[in-house]
Structure formats: C-alpha cells, structure tokens
Amino acid sequence: MSGEQDGFVKVCALEDIPEDGALAVEIDDTPVALVRTGGEVFALHDVCSHAEVALSEGEVYDGAIECWLHGSCFDLRTGKPTNPPASAPVPTYRVRVSDGQVHVSLRPASTDQT
C-alpha cells in the first residue's frame, strides 16, 4: 500500500481487526500492528524494540500489547514499554476510521519517544 495525498492510507476494513486483538499489515514496506480494543483502533510499529519479533502476534489487554517472546508490554497510545525487558518505545501511528474502513498515516502519532 502506498500513501495517499493527506498521508493516510486505507489498510483494511474495521471488521478485519479482531476485537481485543491485532492484525499485521504493511504500509510502504513498514510493518504495522493494528489493534482494536474498547471501541478504538490503534496502530504501532509491528516490531518489538527488544526482540525484533511481531507484536501483532501478542496478547492485547489493559491498553497494551504484549510481546509474545519475552513478555514486554507496550502502551497502545504512546508505544512506550510498560515493563522490561524492553526499554525503548515503538512508534505509534495516526488512525482514522471512516465508513467502516481503517486508514493509517505513517507520520508518527507520538513524537516524544523517550
């Protein structure tokens, strides 16, 4: 998928993302985990900052996604790790849902990655 003029790209239908789960997509060669929970959709870089495995394969709970390999959790809104062993955040991206379609912009939603 390539970027549209306003920076957002249509990536999937809302119904493609499992409730309280994640879906892996790729936008311009960038792996993105789409997470649907609590009636909201979030987008994060789909690579754990500690183990470099797909976050989309992990569990979603309490506003975070857990890396399946070592158990690090990342806040869905900020991308910041909430527990070790990860110490570096993952980028989060802006999401827009319109007419049942999910659009993502690779322009980072969170600029404070510290």
**How many Cα neighbours within 13 Å face the side chain of 37?**
19
CATH number, domain of 67, equals 2.102.10.10
6 exposed, middle or buried (CB, 10 Å; 0-12, 13-18, 19+)? Answer: exposed
Report pLDDT for 107: 83
Question: Is residue 114 a contact partner of residue 49, using CB atoms and an 8 Å limit?
Answer: no
Look up the domain containing 90 and give its range.
8-108
- Residue 114 pLDDT greater than 70, yes or no: no
* Structural domain contains residue 113: no
* Structural domain contains residue 17: yes
Rounded to whole angstroms, the Cα distance separating 102 from 96 reads 6
* Structural domain contains residue 1: no
- Residue 113 pLDDT greater than 50, yes or no: no
Report pLDDT for 110: 57
Across the range 90-94, mean pLDDT stands at 97
- Residue 35 pLDDT greater than 90, yes or no: yes
Query: What total of structural domains would you count in the chain?
Result: 1
